[in-house]
Chains A and B, each alone.
Chain A
Amino acid sequence: MRSIGYLLIGIFFGIVMFKSEAASWFRIYEMFQFQSFHMYGIIGSALFLGVIGVQIIKRKNLKSFFGERISFTPKEKSFSRYMYGGIIFGLGWALAGACPGPIFTLIGAGFLPILIVFIGSLLGTFLYGLLRKKLPH
């Protein structure tokens, strides 16, 4: 039952990524040129509602659909891993014009050269796994 829920949420997510044009290389470029409000509006409005909703869940102790407790795991404290990792991710995001969610959406949309970005992202993840202990976290 839950699997169908995950699948439907994924389909919905894929449609939103495609139709919002957040999966378009051009929109990412335009965002980094500060020449449109579109991407900032998407992220900003999602965040505005996200912050309010998370606060409500925490204060009212809301339960999940299955009656379970909802817990938010805090991210571990650090500066370097988030800053260095973030910069490396940002370089790739702007170059390929896609982040991990849209990579999958674009495969489905039929832009098959995105598979090269996908293979690269697996290689990058693997490389991180190999080098992790040598990197400042």
Chain B
Amino acid sequence: MEWIFEPWPWYVSGPLIALIMFLLIFIGKQFGMSSNLRTMCTICGADSKADFFNFDWKSQRWNLIVVAGAIIGGFIGANFLSNDLSVAINPDTITILDDLGFNSAGEAYLPTEIYSWEAVGGIKALIILLVGGILIGFGARYAGGCTSGHAISGLSNLQLPSLIAVIGFFIGGLVMVHLLFPLIF
């Protein structure tokens, strides 16, 4: 059972994600996380500002329960199922990140250079996280789904729109990492 405390390899994680999608399908629902953000906006009263949020959010309550579970799962994974939180990425990647100023590469789960309160206190990291979040929320709704809704659910159902969206995800990601990171960091 010692393996459970180590990072889980792709050939365990990938099939488990497929299993999660099928459990939801067989319970009568669809796997998609970003639609919860719309539901939360509606609960916060956004329906009075735009029709897009004018829907019966209670029909999405099941998905909010999945979100609550995902939060609990993160707590369990970090506190009870891990001995060492550092992520052993490729040494070449660590070298590139060191040059960009990410000295925590290879030693942490998230880069402390942006994901620590000290870093967030210096406005730059705060703006990076906030802008990153805005792009995620805006893009996911514009594209009608995120990694779970398009890359997993949509592509599993051989949907061309999902393929276009996933190609978009990669164009955006590659532009960010290769063209914009050297300007930002």
Closest Cβ neighbor of A123 among chain B residues: B134
CA distance A114 to B120 in the complex (A): 10
Which residues of A lie under 8 Å from residue B142 when comparing CB positions?
81, 84-85, 88-89, 128, 135
**In the bound complex, how far is the Cα of B138 from the Cα of A124, in angstroms?**
4
- Residues of chain A lying within 8 A (CB to CB) of residue B10: 20, 37-42, 44-45
Give the chain B neighbours of A22 by CB distance below 8 A: 13
Q: Name the interface size band of chain A.
A: 35 or more
Interface residues in A112-129 (C-beta closer than 8 Å to B): 112-114, 116-129
Q: Which of A9, A28, A91, A107 contacts B20 (CB 8 A)?
A: A9
* Chain B contact residues: helix, strand, loop or mixed: helix
Q: Would B156 and A47 count as touching, CB distance under 8 A?
A: yes
Chain A residues numbered 76-126 whose CB sits less than 8 Å from any CB in chain B: 76-79, 81-101, 103-114, 116-126
A52 to chain B, nearest CB (A): 9
Bound complex: CA of A123 vs CA of B160, how far in Å? 28
Report which of B24, B69, B144 forms a contact with A81, defined as CB distance below 8 A: B144
Residues of chain A within 8 A of B156, CB atoms compared: 46-47, 50-51, 53-54
> What's the A-B contact tally at a CB cutoff of 8 Å?
508
Q: Is there contact, CB below 8 Å, between B138 and A94? A: no
Residue pair A50, B131 in contact (C-beta under 8 Å): no
Out of A14, A62, A66, which one reaches B28, CB within 8 Å? A66
Name which residue of chain B comes closest to A56, CB basis.
B22
Q: A3-B65, A75-B159, A89-B146 are in contact. Are A105 and B71 (CB under 8 A)?
A: yes
- Do residues B8 and A87 form an inter-chain contact, with CB atoms below 8 A? no
Q: Chain A: which residue is nearest B63 at the CB level?
A: A6
| 10 tightest A-B CB contacts, nearest first | A10-B69, A86-B168, A14-B73, A120-B133, A90-B172, A124-B137, A92-B135, A85-B143, A89-B139, A96-B132
20 extra A-B contacts, CB within 8 A, seeds A112-B117, A120-B130: A9-B23, A13-B73, A25-B114, A36-B89, A41-B11, A42-B10, A43-B151, A66-B28, A72-B157, A75-B162, A79-B164, A84-B168, A86-B139, A88-B142, A103-B136, A104-B33, A111-B109, A113-B117, A120-B129, A120-B137
11 contacting pairs across A/B (C-beta < 8 A): A45-B14, A53-B156, A66-B28, A75-B162, A85-B140, A86-B171, A92-B135, A94-B176, A100-B147, A120-B135, A129-B53
